[in-house]
Amino acid sequence: MTVLVLDTSAFIMGFNPSKAQEAYSVNAVEEELSAGTMPQLRFRMFSEKGDLTVRPPSPRAESIVEEASSRAGESGYLSRADREVLALAMDLKLDGKEPVIVSDDYAIQNLADHLQISHSSLANFGIVHRFNWIMYCPACYRRYKPPEKKCRVCGTELRRKVLSKTRASRR
């Protein structure tokens, strides 16, 4: 059974869940939406109507997402809401459902692809390649894993670059 997992960008872009398809999100998404705006009101309305199920992810799924985030080099580039949306989708996948994350966030799409979770975008075409990132020092060229920010040897601010890329799956 296909279910939708909605990120902050889904509400900003005006996506409206319906009773025709199960939709899920997390409280951290509502917290990211500006107070009193239409996206936040939409989130609350659909939650109160029962068209949107708001539930926290399990610690197990959060751990899976953190590990995958570290391996992919996305640590430090995902908000708490992003990580929780991915973890909730992982929970739903582990429950035997087929989650589709609705998000225009490339970092979410990238990590969802790493986790073999389907994703869909609203305002852009979505990712074409799945990236593995690495942090490097532009002064002494040492490599670090994200979320490292400064070179431990020379103190220069690190930059992020693609370590490897593969074609993203179009699930």
| Across 154-160, average pLDDT | 90
Indicate if the pLDDT at residue 165 is higher than 80. Answer: no
CB-based contacts of 133: which residues, under 8 Å, 6+ apart?
A: 72, 73, 74, 77, 146, 160, 161, 162, 163
Give residue-wise pLDDT tens across range 56-105: 999 999 999 999 998 888 887 899 999 999 999 999 999 999 999 999 98
In angstroms, rounded to a whole number, what is the distance separating the alpha carbons of residues 152 and 15? 44
**Structure confidence at residue 166 (pLDDT):** 79
- In sequence order, what are the residues at sequence separation of 6 or more whose Cβ sits closer than 8 angstroms to the Cβ of residue 15? 6, 102, 122
Q: At what angle do helices 59-72 and 80-94 cross, to 10 degrees?
A: 120
167 pLDDT above the threshold of 90: no
Q: Provide the 3-class DSSP secondary structure of residue 120.
A: strand
Query: To which residue do tokens 């279910």 refer?
Result: 3
Give 14-40 pLDDT, tens digit per residue: 998 877 789 999 999 999 999 999 999
